[in-house]
């Protein structure tokens, strides 16, 4: 596969919908046909192949002309350009012909996005296995994610799977206003993060289940994490509740929305327990509701899950967190680095 960093501009010639599902990191979407045009050409192609290509080329020439007028001037004339479409076929060729005619140094990606996607899948079978993982584990609300940020600031290598997935990893973990990436783009972003890491140094991650919201962690990554060094993190309930009040402020202001998400687990916790949650929500007793959710659902669920994924977790070192502020966590992170990450 190409060294994509060698190019000043990577043009994704596919439709915006295709680009949105997955694309090479850093690629700029300059479609030769938009979503509606792509659908129109595809529909006509089933009955009139030549007619479809005729319409497609007319759309393409108009769109490429617009990109040449509006987008290409943002890049130097000596820019090295890579172009790709779905399979490296007609859409790429139209772009390459235009750019070569003008005088740009341009190449077409052989096999297009499909070849790139195949390469990503192949890489994700091996790339995660090159690293030693240090895995932070704790019940929800203990500050694992914040500690991960602090470890990065302290100079450790960190791969934040929840940030890549744009999800906090539980039934209420969706980030308001932030849709998750597709599975394909999650894979792309994960591989990009791993490529930045040094295999001679440990990589810090959070313990995760197979799924983070709607995306799945590749099997090779999960298996490698399970073989890593686990470190338990603990914070008292008062701090955990306060952290939830900060991280889930949108639910504190909308307890009905919280209960709507939790309705899926009513059968797991039982009707009586769920009615207690409803009562606390109705009374706007959010700290009490958050604590009850953690004690009666999240903590037992975490315990079952962590023992399944990491059977020897109880033998792991334990770190007590007494101050979940950025400054407090940075001090802890520096000590962790000195003890567990000497190569950092």
Tell me whether residue 197 is one of the annotated catalytic residues: no
- Rounded to an integer, what distance in angstroms lies between the CA atom of residue 141 and that of residue 160? 16
- Rounded to an integer, what distance in angstroms lies between the CA atom of residue 61 and that of residue 48? 20
Whether 39 and 111 have beta carbons less than 8 Å apart is answered as no
Half-sphere exposure of 234 (CA within 13 A, CB side): 8
- Rounded to an integer, what distance in angstroms lies between the CA atom of residue 208 and that of residue 335? 24
Q: Which of 85, 142, 156, 197 is catalytic?
A: 85
Q: What count of residues does the chain have?
A: 344
How many CB atoms neighbour CB 37 within 10 A? Answer: 19
Q: Cα 200 to the chain's mean position, in Å? A: 24
- Rounded to an integer, what distance in angstroms lies between the CA atom of residue 214 and that of residue 181? 9
Whether 99 and 30 have beta carbons less than 8 Å apart is answered as no
- Rounded to an integer, what distance in angstroms lies between the CA atom of residue 142 and that of residue 233? 7
- Rounded to an integer, what distance in angstroms lies between the CA atom of residue 164 and that of residue 323? 26
- Rounded to an integer, what distance in angstroms lies between the CA atom of residue 100 and that of residue 95? 9
- Rounded to an integer, what distance in angstroms lies between the CA atom of residue 128 and that of residue 121? 12
Burial of 184 (0-12, 13-18, 19+ CB in 10 A): middle
At 188, give phi and psi (nearest 5°). -60, -50
- Rounded to an integer, what distance in angstroms lies between the CA atom of residue 102 and that of residue 96? 10
Quickly list DSSP for 107-134.
Answer: EE-TTHHHHHHHHHHHHHHHGGGGS-EE
Burial of 175 (0-12, 13-18, 19+ CB in 10 A): middle
Active site amino acids: 85
């Amino acid at each position: 596969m190409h060294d994509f960093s060698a190019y000043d501009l990577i043009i994704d010639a596919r439709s915006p919908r295709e680009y949105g599902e997955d694309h090479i990191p850093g690629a700029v979407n300059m479609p030769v046909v938009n979503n509606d045009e792509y659908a129109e050409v595809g529909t006509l192609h089933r009955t009139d192949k030549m007619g479809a290509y005729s319409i497609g080329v007319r759309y393409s020439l108009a769109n490429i002309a617009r990109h040449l007028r509006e987008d290409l001037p943002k890049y130097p004339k000596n820019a090295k350009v890579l172009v790709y479409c779905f399979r490296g076929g007609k859409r790429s060729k139209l772009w390459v012909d235009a750019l070569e005619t003008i005088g740009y140094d341009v190449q077409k990606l052989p096999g297009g996005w499909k070849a790139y996607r195949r390469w990503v899948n192949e890489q994700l079978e091996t790339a995660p296995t090159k690293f030693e993982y240090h895995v932070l584990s704790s019940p929800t609300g203990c500050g694992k994610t914040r500690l991960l940020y602090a470890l990065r600031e302290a100079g450790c290598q960190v791969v934040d799977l929840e940030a890549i997935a744009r999800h906090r990893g539980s039934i209420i973990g969706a980030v308001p206003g932030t849709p998750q990436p597709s599975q394909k783009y999650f894979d792309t972003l994960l591989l990009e993060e791993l490529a930045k890491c040094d295999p001679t140094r440990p990589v810090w991650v959070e313990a995760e289940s197979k799924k983070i919201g709607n995306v799945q962690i590749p099997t090779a990554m999960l298996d490698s994490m399970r073989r890593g060094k686990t470190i338990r993190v603990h914070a008292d309930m008062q701090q955990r509740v306060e952290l939830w009040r900060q991280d889930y402020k949108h639910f504190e202001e909308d307890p009905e929305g919280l209960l709507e998400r939790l309705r899926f687990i009513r059968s797991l916790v039982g009707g009586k327990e769920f009615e207690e949650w409803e009562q606390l929500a109705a009374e706007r007793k959010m700290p009490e509701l958050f604590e009850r959710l953690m004690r009666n659902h999240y903590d037992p669920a975490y315990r079952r899950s962590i023992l399944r994924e990491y059977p020897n977790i109880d033998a792991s070192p334990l770190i007590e967190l007494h101050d979940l502020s950025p400054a407090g966590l940075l001090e802890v992170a520096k000590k962790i680095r000195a003890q567990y990450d000497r190569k950092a």
